[in-house]
Chain A
Amino acid sequence: MRWITVCPVDDIDPEDLAPFDHAGQSYAIYRDEDGAVFATDGLCTHEHVHLCNGLVMGSQIECPKHNGRFNYKTGAAERLPCVRDLKTHPVRVVDGMVEIGMED
């Protein structure tokens, strides 16, 4: 696994998310209320709208287009019209920087 640096962890507020693009792929990087970091694909599985303008509520991200929801910790689709799960990605914080893990 390769670890790619995303941004300083403090750039993302608790209970919020930020977009991250790498190698033509969009990701969404989240922090929950306690500040723990998570990552998923960046585009909604319903109509591929970027989730970065969505709303983080507890463990859920609500898509800004049709209010579908995913659990961003597990990727599970939890509210219609989202029916396909979101892919999650490994993520860690090293020296205050968020890193996302990419398969080799």
Chain B
Amino acid sequence: MPKDTFVEKRDYSLTGPSAQRAIELGLASAQWYHSEVPRKVMKELMQRRDGPAIRDTLIWFALLGLSAWGGIQFWGNWSCVPFWAVYGVLYGSACDSRWHECGHGTAFKTGWMNDVVYHIASFMVMRNPVSWRWSHARHHTDTIIVGRDAEIAFMHPTSIALNILHFIGVVDVWQWLKILARNATGNLNAEERNYIPDAEVPKAIFWARVHVAIYAATLVAAVWMQSVLPFMLIGGPRFYGTWHMFMTGLIQHGGLAEDVLDHRLNSRTCLMNPASRWIYWNMNYHVEHHMFPMVPYHALPRLHALIKDDLPAACPSIPAAFAEMVPAILRQRHEKGYFLRKKLPSSARPYREDFHQTAPARSDKGK
């Protein structure tokens, strides 16, 4: 296809023809490829602990408190900038990984600790804590299956401008605030109702109202103080500190395959510096996480070491991941069906692109 012609826009809705097609092809709720891990070892890897997440959460809150203190203390002076830069990433980016791990219930062993951090992080990341729990379950059932997965970041043909704007939150904050406001008025659209059981709808509305009320209170405080300072602390970091969340989030699946049943074809593992890994809570081991979502974040490096010979080589760094992903995404804008097919080591079992064996009939919403 010529370089100036874009591929036809795919239908990524959960209620349109792609959804129908995914079901007909046996791509919905299907069985996925898994690397072999002995049951005894897997049981050990899956063990839950409170220690690592309590330590990380205490550090997180302490750093949030310290950086907020510095930002307020030096407000009006250039020396406040580094404090807000740190606060912004801890709030506007680290919230995503905390939301994610606690949503899976794997971060802490103690259930209520997962729930408390999940709700705090959901607020920070501006996601309805109820809706997103269900959309993420779908993302795991039908990872990057067009018409089924509600969390596909790159929709072909990908808009480059939109993805750049995501780094400063402009588009997604606006979109997600609109969704929260709509949910707060009691309105859930057809897509949301496609993956949220009816019994959960009142909870989704309740939590949207709580979030909207906090933002309204922040607005009142800002007007009363005649200052943007309240928004520097609440909500604002989703603009000025969200870049790390998108930088790491985009490489999870970018440039890889759609509509396959082997996470080695649609997910990317990328090694990164310790600071990014801490902010991201080891979600850089993304193939491993999708294959075995019960393994807590602190055990993912061990899981990676165990199965890496069955996976494509991990990208050695974040820049290396972008270097392979960006050209692939640009090509996907023009070439229908193209994806980056990474070479498997000779020790790996072959890709199972045709692994479309339909699982036993499954309900859509667990009702």
Contact = CB atoms under 8 A, between A and B. Distances in A.
Given A55-B46, A62-B294, A67 B106 contact: yes
A45 interface: yes
Interface stretch (B270-278, B347-355, B358-366): B358-366
B141 A47 contact: yes
Contacts of B137: 46, 66, 81
| Best-buried of A62, A67, A69, A83 by chain B (most CB within 10 Å) | A67
| Residue from B137, B199, B200 having most chain A Cβ neighbours under 10 A | B137
B360 A65 contact: no
Main secondary structure of the interface of A (DSSP, over half): loop
Nearest to A49: B359
Nearest to A69: B105
Q: Which of A55, A68, A83 has most B Cβ within 10 Å?
A: A55
Contact of B134 (A54, A57, A69, A81): A81
A82 interface: yes
A83 B104 CA distance: 16
B47, B294, B363, B367 interface centre (most CB from chain A within 10 Å): B294
A36 B18 CA distance: 48
Contacts of B104: 66-67
A91 interface: no
Contacts of A45: 366
Contact of B366 (A54, A64, A81): A81
Contacts of B312: none
B223 to A, nearest CB: 38
Interface string A77-97: 001111110000000000000
Given A43-B360, A55-B43, A55-B46, 19 more contacts: A16-B43, A46-B366, A47-B362, A47-B363, A48-B360, A48-B361, A48-B362, A54-B294, A55-B294, A62-B105, A62-B294, A64-B294, A65-B140, A67-B293, A80-B133, A82-B366, A83-B366, A84-B366, A84-B367
8 residue pairs, one from A and one from B, having the closest CB atoms: A46-B366, A66-B137, A47-B362, A55-B46, A48-B362, A81-B137, A67-B105, A67-B104
